[in-house]
Amino acid sequence: MNPDIIAVQETKLRFTDRTPIANYTFYSTPSRTGRDIRGTGIYIKNNIHHTHYPNPSLRQIESTIVTIHQPTSQDSINIISIYLPNGSDSSFIYDVEALIQTNYRTILIGDFQR
């Protein structure tokens, strides 16, 4: 197996934690609670042209966002690793709408607890 992108949820990492994999860059978004629970992350191969974006202010969803820039096209693709905590109500859809309101194609990957 040789994936280009690996999305992870429930990482349970803190801001200071590092979990390297050779030839990948890792972006992590620890839980907003400040505790070692939840959290999301994305591993992306070092040779893929990309940009990591900070999370927008969301109500329920925790996420990590990377945009892939394709050298042969002006199209970019958002890859978003999502964690929706258990017990969240249906208003999480507003968070999803906030995440996909770009001019880029978007792939949502994650744990939606549904």
pLDDT bracket for residue 35 (50, 70, 90) = low
32 pLDDT more than 80 = no
Q: In CATH, what number does 5-111 get?
A: 3.60.10.10
pLDDT in tens, 45-67: 999 999 998 877 888 888 999 99
Cβ neighbours of residue 86 closer than 8 Å, sequence gap 6 or more: 113
- pLDDT value of position 34: 63
Q: What does pTM read for this prediction?
A: 0.86
Q: How far apart are CA 106 and CA 61, in angstroms?
A: 16
| CA separation, residue 104 to residues 20, 23, 31, 50, 51 (Å) | 28, 26, 26, 13, 13
Model pLDDT for residues 65-114, shown as the tens digit of each residue:
999 998 777 789 999 999 988 888 888 889 889 888 877 889 999 988 76
Task: Name the residue among 6, 26, 46, 32 with its Cα closest to residue 84.
Answer: 32
Where does 10-103 show beta strands of DSSP type E?
Answer: 24-29, 40-45, 50-53, 62-69, 76-83
